[in-house]
């Protein structure tokens, strides 16, 4: 039964019940599948059935043998397609046109006896053909969800993936408009190495080129899934959750129930609502093995199904209630990648204004800040005993259709100062301006002075006491608030003018978001070869797209304040110093993963104790200058996170340090962002020093110590020439050889596996020194010897007399390209040419 979210329920009948159908077909009884009782079928949406039966297997094996015994060496090997007696799913019921619309659809279980990664080429070819035949059959009878057995031999993953790739590249999956899904069944996690099954999946899907039809079906464990594993899977294209009856407990009435942690897990998947998938957008919960315990629990087999249906309905209700806008919740969360708005250079449409105007929380927050600021202005005037007849000038800069003007108007009325304020509404969008005129007439008694102009060029003699604007993008500064407000700061403000917001801070973190990568890759296919990488060079807004922050922190990168503390009066200061930022910031990542991009968030200090933030909850921030803003503002829905995508995903190991360079560039006419990512692991090399040969290194015993060696792992280095904010004080040069907290454990076998892989990825590390030496030599030949710093490795022993020393090495394991250089793919226009 479909519920409001895209989550459905399915069952896998026992093999006995599946065989009943087989026998009926064999006896040519053209009846629909007689699986299990009708009550069960009526309360589920899907039935999982094997596509072919044992008879087909026998036929195939006979054909294989016949081929092996053939006389003509050039004979083509072709496995015949299954006949009616070979199939387990009725081609006449369930999915066909003449079926009852209330009867459940089918999910096909592909043969698990095939051996896709068999060493023998012929066996492999047979397996491939069987799978392809089953997929073709499924498609012809209207089944679009297929589940595949996991690899038998994980050492042969490449071959397994190659075979899947061949199937996926067939027309049935490739043709435009096809909605066929192939999912690999895997356990959600294994105790010994919780990310091992994710590794498997990641390997397979990478080898298959992130094919949009390739998904995963996950078997829920009996025990609690660690939260980082669950969070990881929530971002992946999970097409079904497999629930064995063995993971159920019984309640006091002997009914089957799930443990609390698995109830929560279902709830989380329901909230994601199938949004992590590019193609299908639906998730099926498949119950199996119910026949095993049916005699021991109350309610028999159908009790499992009733319970899951109950849980899903209850979760739906809770999810909806948790949002104020519950009616739209699921619809609002349809996953979309959207280009960030450019309200300064492009006029917003009426429909966009109307969506934003329903964000009650935003206007409540602004209302609070406006009230506090006005009280402050009134208090100042009282203490100064200044002339009460001078009006309080309040400017709403970028008034849109007027909701912030209404806030000012209402607050002024409630404070009983409406007669003492002069409200100015400044807006450049002609459409929005018409609304302002209408509202002025209908609601504000024509008391608001309306100005149709661009605030960055606005000229007037007015000096403003309070300037209110909302020019904030998901990263804070990406809608050009700093540039737009500069003219007002310089020409229309007094020393004590209050700005709302007072400041806004941008924060970033490395994320995994397979859907972002898949969507951009798919979209890129519509562009010519020159344009193919364009989509990966632009920031995007991730609306309803599941992502996981891989680092343990979100790092603040820069803050803009109003009024800007820097004044152009200083001769050396340029407009670039005011608006440009360049930051390198480091993150610690505990669990391995694939980085698909950099998520961007903002938090804003409106005024007094009023803040707004879209930084996700439950992750700490390195606070630079704003206190009290580290909680995501509940039900603030105008902003979704921004993502700077990576052209190529960056695979990182456990305990990796990720270094992100992000810059904001303003050249006087336009603003753009550039970004790149690097990854490092820390190694401790144990070296024996042969003192007789002048300290030469002798032994290469090594071990991995993938821990950051200084005390402040998540640091931010501001590479700006100006000292506009506090980031500039961080010292970036101490990363390479910082020897604090050295773990002197010399056991070289501690983590040999990780060490090997780190060396592998780096590839050239043992010859590092020689390589740099040869560069020097080359220049010596020319008589010009440059001074070359050997990057990231210090092979000098610390104390010469020691026989054995630990040398800490920061080894680079990955690097992305620098994206959007010179804003050649994406920029926001500030001044028209």
Name the residue nearer to ligand SAM (CB basis): 357 or 790. 357
Three-class secondary structure of residue 647 per DSSP = strand
Name the residue nearer to ligand SAM (CB basis): 54 or 454. 454
Among 44, 135, 164, 484, binds ligand SAM (CB under 6 A): 484
Assess 592 for contact with ligand SAM (CB under 6 A): no
Assess 46 for contact with ligand SAM (CB under 6 A): no
Crossing angle of helices 260-272/227-235, nearest 10°?
30
Q: Count residues contacting ligand SAM (CB under 6 A)?
A: 21
* Residues in contact with ligand SAM, shown as a per-residue x/- string from 142 to 181 under the rule CB under 6 A: ----------------------------------------
The CA dihedral of 341, 344, 348, 354, to the nearest 10 degrees, is 90
Q: Which of 470, 483, 586, 657 is catalytic?
A: 470
Minimum gap (Å) between residue 156 Cβ and ligand SAM: 54
Among 150, 274, 343, 501, binds ligand SAM (CB under 6 A): 343
The answer to whether the beta carbons of residues 606 and 369 sit under 8 Å apart is yes
Name the residue nearer to ligand SAM (CB basis): 156 or 487. 487
In terms of Cβ atoms closer than 10 Å to its own Cβ (0-12, 13-18, 19+), residue 685 is buried
Minimum gap (Å) between residue 398 Cβ and ligand SAM: 2
Minimum gap (Å) between residue 435 Cβ and ligand SAM: 10
Q: How far apart are CA 315 and CA 267, in angstroms?
A: 6
Three-class secondary structure of residue 212 per DSSP = coil
Please give the C-alpha separations between residue 317 and each of 29, 265, 277, 307, 310, in angstroms, as whole numbers: 44, 16, 23, 15, 11
Q: How far apart are CA 79 and CA 70, in angstroms?
A: 14
Minimum gap (Å) between residue 582 Cβ and ligand SAM: 25
Determine whether the annotation assigns residue 190 to a binding site: no
Among 470, 556, 586, 657, binds ligand SAM (CB under 6 A): 470
User: Is 479 marked active-site?
Assistant: yes
The answer to whether the beta carbons of residues 178 and 108 sit under 8 Å apart is no
Assess 492 for contact with ligand SAM (CB under 6 A): no
Minimum gap (Å) between residue 473 Cβ and ligand SAM: 9
The answer to whether the beta carbons of residues 3 and 312 sit under 8 Å apart is yes
Q: Which residue is nearest to ligand SAM (CB)?
A: 398
Assess 137 for contact with ligand SAM (CB under 6 A): no
Determine whether the annotation assigns residue 779 to a binding site: no
Determine whether the annotation assigns residue 612 to a binding site: no
Q: CB atoms < 10 A from the CB of 760, how many?
A: 10
Q: Which of 236, 479, 538, 657 is catalytic?
A: 479
Determine whether the annotation assigns residue 454 to a binding site: yes
Q: Of 505, 507, 608, 612, which is closest to residue 561 (Cα–Cα)?
A: 505
Determine whether the annotation assigns residue 669 to a binding site: no
Name the residue nearer to ligand SAM (CB basis): 231 or 470. 470
Q: How far apart are CA 107 and CA 183, in angstroms?
A: 11
3-state DSSP helix/strand/coil % of the chain, to nearest 5: 35, 25, 40
Q: How far apart are CA 464 and CA 130, in angstroms?
A: 76
Minimum gap (Å) between residue 669 Cβ and ligand SAM: 14
Name the residue nearer to ligand SAM (CB basis): 411 or 484. 484
DSSP assignment letter at 765: G
Name the residue nearer to ligand SAM (CB basis): 499 or 547. 499
Give residues with Cβ within 8 angstroms of 223, minimum separation 6. 191
Assess 449 for contact with ligand SAM (CB under 6 A): no
Among 356, 433, 540, 644, binds ligand SAM (CB under 6 A): 356
Minimum gap (Å) between residue 356 Cβ and ligand SAM: 5
Name the residue nearer to ligand SAM (CB basis): 440 or 816. 440
Q: How far apart are CA 5 and CA 274, in angstroms?
A: 8
* Residues in contact with ligand SAM, shown as a per-residue x/- string from 414 to 443 under the rule CB under 6 A: ------------xxxx--x-----------
- H helices present in 9-156, as ranges: 15-26, 38-42, 54-68, 121-140
DSSP assignment letter at 133: H
Residues from 375 through 414 that contact ligand SAM (CB under 6 A): 398-400, 403-404
In terms of Cβ atoms closer than 10 Å to its own Cβ (0-12, 13-18, 19+), residue 765 is buried
User: Is 799 marked active-site?
Assistant: no
Determine whether the annotation assigns residue 268 to a binding site: no
Minimum gap (Å) between residue 427 Cβ and ligand SAM: 5
Say which residue the tokens 């008694």 belong to.
445
Look up residue 499 and give its two tokens.
Answer: 């700005």
Among 54, 291, 454, 829, binds ligand SAM (CB under 6 A): 454
Name the residue nearer to ligand SAM (CB basis): 9 or 480. 480
Q: Of 447, 380, 382, 379, which is closest to residue 408 (Cα–Cα)?
A: 447
Name the residue nearer to ligand SAM (CB basis): 188 or 484. 484
Question: Annotated binding site, which residues?
Answer: 353, 362-363, 427, 454-455
What amino acid positions are annotated as catalytic residues? 470, 479
Question: Annotated binding site for S-adenosyl-L-methionine, which residues?
Answer: 353, 362-363, 427, 454-455
Binding residues for ligand SAM, rule: CB under 6 A, are 343-344, 348, 356-357, 398-400, 403-404, 426-429, 432, 454-456, 470-471, 484
């Amino acid at each position: 039964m479909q519920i409001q979210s895209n989550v459905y329920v399915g069952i896998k009948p026992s093999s006995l019940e599946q065989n009943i159908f087989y026998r009926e077909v064999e006896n040519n009884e053209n009846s629909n599948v007689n699986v299990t009782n009708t009550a069960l079928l009526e309360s589920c949406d899907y039935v999982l059935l094997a596509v072919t039966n044992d008879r087909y297997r026998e036929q195939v094996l006979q054909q294989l043998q016949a081929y092996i015994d053939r006389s003509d060496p050039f004979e083509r090997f072709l496995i015949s397609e299954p006949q009616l007696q070979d199939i387990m799913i009725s081609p006449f019921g369930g999915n066909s046109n003449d079926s009852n619309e209330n009867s459940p659809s089918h999910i096909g279980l592909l043969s698990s006896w095939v051996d896709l990664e068999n060493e023998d080429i012929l066996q492999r070819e047979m397996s491939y053909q069987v799978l392809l035949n089953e997929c073709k059959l499924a498609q012809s009878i209207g089944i679009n969800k297929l589940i595949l057995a996991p690899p038998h031999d994980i050492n042969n993953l490449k071959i397994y993936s190659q075979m899947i790739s061949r199937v996926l590249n067939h027309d049935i999956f490739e043709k435009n408009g096809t909605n066929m899904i192939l999912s690999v069944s895997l356990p959600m996690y294994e105790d010994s190495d919780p990310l091992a099954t994710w590794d498997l999946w990641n390997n397979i899907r990478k080898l298959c080129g992130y094919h949009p039809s390739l998904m995963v079906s996950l078997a829920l464990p009996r025990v609690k899934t660690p939260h980082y594993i669950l969070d990881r899977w929530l971002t992946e294209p999970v097409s079904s959750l497999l629930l064995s009856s063995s993971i159920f407990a019984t309640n006091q009435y002997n009914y089957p129930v799930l443990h609390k942690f698995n109830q929560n897990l279902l709830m989380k998947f329901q909230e994601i609502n199938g949004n992590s998938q590019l193609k299908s957008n639906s998730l099926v919960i498949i119950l199996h093995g119910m026949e095993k315990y049916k005699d021991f629990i109350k309610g028999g087999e159908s009790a499992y199904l009733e319970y899951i249906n109950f849980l899903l309905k209850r979760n739906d209700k809770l999810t909806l209630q948790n949002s104020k806008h519950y009616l739209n919740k699921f619809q609002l969360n349809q996953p979309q990648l959207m280009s960030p708005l450019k309200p300064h250079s492009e006029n917003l449409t009426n429909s966009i204004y109307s969506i934003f105007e329903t964000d009650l929380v935003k206007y409540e927050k602004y209302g609070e800040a406006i009230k506090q600021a006005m009280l402050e202005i009134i208090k100042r005037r009282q203490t100064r005993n200044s002339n009460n007849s001078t009006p309080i000038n309040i400017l709403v800069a970028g008034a849109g259709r007027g909701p912030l003007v209404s806030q000012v108007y209402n607050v002024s009325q409630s404070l009983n100062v409406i007669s003492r304020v002069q409200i100015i509404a400044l807006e450049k969008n002609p459409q929005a301006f018409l609304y302002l005129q209408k509202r002025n007439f209908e609601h504000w008694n024509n008391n608001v002075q309306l100005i149709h102009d661009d605030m960055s060029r606005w000229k007037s003699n007015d000096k403003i006491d309070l300037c209110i604007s909302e020019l904030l993008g998901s990263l804070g500064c990406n809608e050009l608030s700093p540039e737009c407000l500069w003219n007002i700061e310089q020409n229309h403000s007094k020393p004590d003018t209050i700005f709302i917001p007072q400041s806004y801070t941008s924060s970033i973190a490395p994320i995994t978001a397979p859907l972002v990568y898949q969507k951009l890759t798919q979209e890129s296919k519509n562009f010519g070869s020159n344009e193919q990488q364009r989509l990966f060079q632009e920031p995007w807004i991730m609306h309803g797209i599941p992502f996981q922050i891989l680092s343990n922190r979100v790092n603040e990168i820069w803050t803009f304040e109003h009024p800007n503390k820097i004044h152009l009066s200083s001769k050396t200061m340029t407009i670039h110093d005011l608006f440009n930022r360049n930051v390198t910031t480091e993150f610690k990542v505990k669990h391995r993963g694939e980085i698909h991009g950099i998520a961007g968030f903002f938090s804003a200090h409106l005024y007094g104790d009023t803040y707004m933030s879209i930084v996700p909850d439950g992750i700490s921030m390195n606070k630079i200058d704003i206190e009290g803003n580290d909680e995501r503002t509940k039900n603030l829905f105008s902003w979704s996170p921004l993502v700077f995508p990576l052209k190529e995903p960056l695979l990182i190991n456990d305990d990796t340090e990720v270094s992100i360079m992000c810059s904001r560039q303003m050249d006087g006419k336009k603003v753009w962002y550039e970004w790149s990512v690097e990854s490092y692991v820390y190694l401790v090399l144990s070296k024996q020093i042969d003192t007789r040969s002048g300290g030469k290194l002798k032994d290469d015993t090594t071990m991995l110590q993938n821990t950051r060696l200084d005390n402040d792992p998540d640091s931010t280095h501001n590479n700006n020439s100006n000292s506009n904010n506090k980031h500039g004080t961080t010292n970036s040069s101490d990363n390479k050889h910082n020897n604090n907290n050295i773990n002197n454990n010399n056991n070289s076998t501690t983590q040999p596996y990780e060490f090997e892989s780190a060396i592998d990825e780096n590839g050239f590390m043992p010859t590092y020194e020689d390589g740099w030496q040869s560069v020097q030599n080359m220049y010596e030949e020319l008589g010009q010897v440059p001074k070359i710093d050997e990057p990231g490795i210090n092979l000098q022993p610390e104390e010469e007399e020691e026989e054995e020393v630990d040398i800490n090495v920061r080894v680079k394991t990955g690097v992305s390209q620098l994206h959007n250089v010179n804003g050649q793919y994406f920029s926001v226009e500030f001044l028209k040419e």
